[in-house]
Chains A and B, each alone.
Chain A
Amino acid sequence: MQMTGADLIVKLLERQGTSTIAGVPGGAALPMYDALSKSETIHHVLCRHEQGAGFIAQGMARVSGRPEVCLASSGPGATNLVTAIADAKLDSIPIIALTGQVPLSMIGTDAFQEVDTYGMTIPITKHNFLVRSAKDLLEVIPAAFRIAMSDRPGPVLVDVPKDVQNQMVSFEAYPDVVVPDAAPTFDIAAVEEAAKMIEAAERPVLYLGGGVIHSGAAAMAVTLAEQASLPTTMTLMALGAMPMDHPLAIGMLGMHGARYTNYVLEEADLLICVGARFDDRAIGKTAEFCPNAKIIHIDIDRSELHKVKDAHVAIAGDVGQVLSELLPRVKPQLRKRWLSHVESLKGRFPLAMPGIEDPRSPYGLIHAVANCLDDSAIITSDVGQHQMWVAQAYPFRRARQWLNSGGLGTMGFGFPAAIGAALAAPDRTVVCFSGDGSLKMNIQEMATAAQENVNVKIILMNNQSLGLVHQQQNLFYGKRIMASRYERPTDFLKIAEGFGMRAVDLDPSPNPRATLAEALHTPGPCLIHATIDPNEFVYPMVPPGAANSEMIG
C-alpha cells in the first residue's frame, strides 16, 4: 500500500476505533485535515479554541474509558492544547493529542508558528513523540493508543511535521489494532497479608480513588466494603464508585469533606487505599492524616506507593485484579461497634446543607437538579465553589457519572468536557454545573455545542465573583477582597443566545423548580442561569496546610 503520512494517520485512527475527533485546523495541520475530509467514519467536531478541543476529547474519554483524540495545528494551536493535556495527566485520562508542526527542515529556525511542542509537553504527557518519518507512524500511532490506555492511563502527544504528513509511505500491511498491555503481576503473599490486616483491624476505613473508576472496579470495591463492613470514603475523583446513599458510604474526604468523614479517618486503625494517591487536598497535613492507622495501598502505578505516606502493605497492580484476589480471602465480618460509632459521628457531625429546600440557594439548586434526573445523567463541573457543593451534595450513584478536573483544577473544564460527554453518550442528559468565573474561560464552545446540538445543560451559579478566591480572601486574608469580584455584570443569557443556544433564567421565574425541569427535559443545549449569593461559602473547610481535623465552619 502507498499513501501519505496524513492519510496513514487517519486510517490508523479509524482502525483503532476513533469515531469523533475534536480539533481546530491551521497551516501545519492542513494535510491531516485534507485526509480527514476523505474519512467516512470519523466525525470532526470543529471547536472554537484548542483548549475546548482538548477538554472535549477528555469528556469523551472520561465517559467511554478509551483513548479519544484531539487535533491542533503548530505553535499557538499546540500551546492552547497544553492546559487540557496537563489536566489529563493529573487525572490519568487517556487522550491522544495530535499536533501539526513546521516542516522538519525548518524546526529550530523560529519558523512561523513554530514552538517546541515536544519539549514543552514532556512533563505534562505520559509520553510524547516527534515523528521524523512517515513510516514511523506505523509504530507511533498504535503505540500512542497502547501507552495512553495501558497501566495508569494518561495523555500522549504526537507532533507531526507538515512534510512528514505529506511524505509518501509504502508498506505491506497495517499494524495490528492495539489493546492495553497486561497489567503488572503482583505478589499474592501481599494480598494475603492485606486480608489478614483487614480481618484483624478494629476500625478500618476504605479509601477509594479515581483508579477504581479507571479500572472498572467500582462494583468490586463496594463488595469488599460490604463483606468486611468497611466505612468507605471517596476522593473527588472517585465519587460515584459507591452510591452516596449506600449505608457504608461516608462521603468525600479532605478539604471540603464533611466533619464526620474526617473524624472517622482520624480514628481509623487501618486505611485501605485503593487507586488513590494521598493528594494534599484529600489528606491535609500529611503527618496528621490517619495518625493511628496502618496503611494498605493498592495502585497500578508503583511510583505512587510510599510516595506521600509509607504503606505497611503496598501492592502494585490493577486495582480490579488485586480486589478480585483479595475478596475471596477477606472473611465476612459485621463490625457492629465500629459501624455504630461511625453512625454516631455522622449523626453528631453531619454535612450541613443549609437552604437545601430553597432552589435559589446553592445546595437547594443542586438538589432540585438531581430531583429532575435519574442516575443515567452525566454530571460535569467546572472548578470552584460550585464544584465543591456538587461534590458534597449530588447523589452520585455510579462510576463515570461525575466528571471534573480534580488534579489540575482547571476552570473552563466543565463545559467542553460536557460537550465531549454528550458526544460519547448521545442518549444521556449531560449537566454541567459551572460558575460565572469558570464558564467564561471556555464560553466560546457554546458555538460548538449549538453546532453539534448536544444535549448539554449548563447550570450557571452566578455570584459575579471568583467565589473560592473570594471565600479564601474573606477567611484567611483579613477580608481584603482583591480581584475576586467582577464589577460589571455579564449578560450570560444574551451571550448564550448570541451563540445560538437556548437560555433560561431561574431568577425571575415564579416557580424555579418547574422552569428548571422544563429546561432539563427539553433536548438540546441550554444555559440555565441562577443568581446565588456571593457570601455563601463552602463549609466545612480545612485551611490550606492544616490538618483535616482543623476544619472551620
Chain B
Amino acid sequence: MSEQNAKPLSEFIPDVPETTGFNKVVLELGVANHPGVMSHICNLFARRAFNVEGILCMPVGSGDTSRIWLLVFEDQRLEKMIRQVEKLEDVRYVERHAGDHPVFGRLDEFFQ
C-alpha cells in the first residue's frame, strides 16, 4: 500500500472531511453472506464521506458467513462509525487491528 502521508488526507483528496487523520486502521468484520451485505456496509461509509482505502471480502467456512477486511484512515469519527457498523443486522462482530496488519500488506504487488 502507499506509504503513509505526512499531511492529513483532506489536503490530498477533495471532499474528505478535516477530521480524517493519516494513521491507518484495519477493521475485521464478520458478516452474514448474502448479495446485499457489501452494499449495506459500503453505504454506511460512503454516506459519511468516510474514506475506505481497501476492501477484501471472502466467504468463510460453509459459506453462511463472510469476513470483510477494511483498511481505513484513523478518524475522530472512527469509534462512532464502528458502533454504527455493529448495529447493522448482518454484522456479527467488528474487530479493530493496527494499520500494519498483514492482510493488506501482501496485496501490494497487485497494485503496482
Contacts and interface: CB of A to CB of B under 8 A. Distances in A.
Interface string B16-51: 000000000000000000011001100100010000
Contacts of A302: 83, 86-87
Q: How many residues of A sit at the interface, in one of the four size bands?
A: 10 to 19
Nearest to B84: A303
A141 to B, nearest CB: 15
B14 to A, nearest CB: 23
B80 A307 contact: yes
Contact of A303 (B39, B40, B43, B87): B87
B80 A119 contact: no
Interface of A: 118-119, 122-123, 126-128, 130, 147, 301-303, 306-307
B80 A303 contact: yes
B47 A147 contact: no
Nearest to B43: A122
Given A118-B36, A119-B39, A126 B80 contact: no
B89 interface: yes
B47 A306 contact: no
Nearest to B87: A303
Contacts of B43: 122-123
A194 B87 CA distance: 25
A129 to B, nearest CB: 8
9 contacts: A126-B89, A127-B89, A130-B35, A147-B89, A302-B86, A303-B80, A303-B83, A306-B79, A307-B80
A123 B86 contact: no
Given A122-B43, A127-B89, 13 more contacts: A118-B36, A122-B39, A123-B47, A130-B35, A147-B89, A302-B83, A302-B86, A303-B83, A303-B84, A303-B86, A303-B87, A306-B79, A306-B80
Nearest to A123: B43
Contacts of B79: 306
Interface residues of B, number: 15
Contacts of A303: 80, 83-84, 86-87
A126 B87 CA distance: 9
Interface string B80-111: 10011011111000000000000000000000
B40 to A, nearest CB: 6
A397 to B, nearest CB: 34
Contacts of B87: 301-303
A301 B83 CA distance: 9
A119 B86 CA distance: 20
B96 to A, nearest CB: 16
Contacts of A306: 79-80
Given A127-B89, A147-B89, A302-B86, A122 B80 contact: no
Nearest to B85: A303
A303 B83 CA distance: 5
Nearest to A302: B83
A164 to B, nearest CB: 14
Nearest to A305: B83
Nearest to A132: B35
Contacts of B86: 302-303
Contacts of B39: 119, 122
Contacts of A301: 87
A127 B90 CA distance: 9
A120 to B, nearest CB: 11
Max count, chain B CB within 10 A of own CB: residue among A127, A147, A303: A303
Contacts of A119: 39
A10 B89 CA distance: 24
Contacts of B40: 122
Contacts of A122: 36, 39-40, 43
